[in-house]
């Protein structure tokens, strides 16, 4: 399967069951789920798994990344430190759609201790069904990405 149909998934120990449910859900829709773990329930640092998924996305190996932890916040913060990542935490389907349409997000973070499985699957569906609108949103996304290259304490209003 091509990279355009490949989605990487990772989590920490707090979200293994939900991650596996999402992997099965997207596989049934025809995506190739690249589930990089973990599979054992012992406590594990979420930045390691968030980074591993992020690298798969920015390298072009996978089109999107779905990352999970207890809140979704930790994996989101870690992933957004990797150049090229645009990741948002979503607890609702509207935001999941909008981060694709307006922010061209390439990763989605979900908190397994925040949302139930049914809502999480709907959030994933909303994210994957939406497309970046471009237009007036394109230069704004470019401005986000330019922050990665700018020297400290420069710019702003």
Known catalytic residue at 25: no
Asked whether position 80 contacts ligand RB5 by CB under 6 A, the answer is no
Residue 52, Cβ density class (10 Å: 0-12 exposed, 13-18 middle, ≥19 buried) = middle
Could you give the string, one character per residue 6-45, with x where binding to ligand RB5 holds by CB under 6 A and - elsewhere? ------x-x-------------------------------
Q: Provide the pairing of β-strand 64-69 with 107-111.
A: parallel
Angle at 73 between CA 99 and CA 70, to 5 degrees: 120
Provide the token pair at 139.
């230069």
Q: What residues contact residue 82 under an 8 Å CB cut-off, 6+ apart?
A: 51, 54, 55, 58
Please state the closest distance from residue 74 (CB atom) to ligand RB5, in A. 2
Which is nearer to ligand RB5, 69 or 99 (by Cβ)? Answer: 69
In the list 3, 37, 47, 70, the residue contacting ligand RB5 (rule: CB under 6 A) is: 70
Q: How far is the CB of 13 from ligand RB5 (least distance, A)?
A: 7
Q: Which of 62, 69, 87, 90 is catalytic?
A: 69
Please indicate whether residue 137 is annotated as part of the active site. Answer: no
Is 49 a binding residue for ligand RB5 by CB under 6 A? The answer is no
47 counts as binding ligand RB5 under rule CB under 6 A: no
CB-CB contact of 83 with 148 (8 Å) = yes
């Amino acid at each position: 399967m091509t990279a355009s149909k490949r989605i990487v998934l990772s989590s920490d120990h707090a979200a293994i069951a939900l991650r596996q449910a999402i992997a099965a859900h997207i596989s049934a829709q025809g995506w190739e789920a690249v589930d990089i773990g973990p599979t054992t329930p012992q406590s594990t640092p979420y930045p390691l798994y968030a980074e591993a998924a992020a690298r798969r996305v920015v390298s072009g190996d996978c089109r999107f990344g779905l990352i999970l932890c207890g809140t979704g916040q930790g994996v989101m913060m870690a992933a957004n430190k990797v150049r090229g990542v645009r990741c948002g935490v979503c607890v609702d389907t509207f935001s999941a759609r909008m981060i694709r349409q307006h922010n061209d997000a390439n990763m989605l973070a979900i908190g397994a201790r925040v949302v139930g499985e049914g809502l999480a699957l709907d959030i994933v569906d909303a994210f994957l069904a939406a497309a970046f609108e471009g237009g007036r949103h394109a230069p704004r996304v470019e401005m986000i990405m330019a922050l990665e290259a700018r020297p400290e304490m420069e710019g702003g209003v």
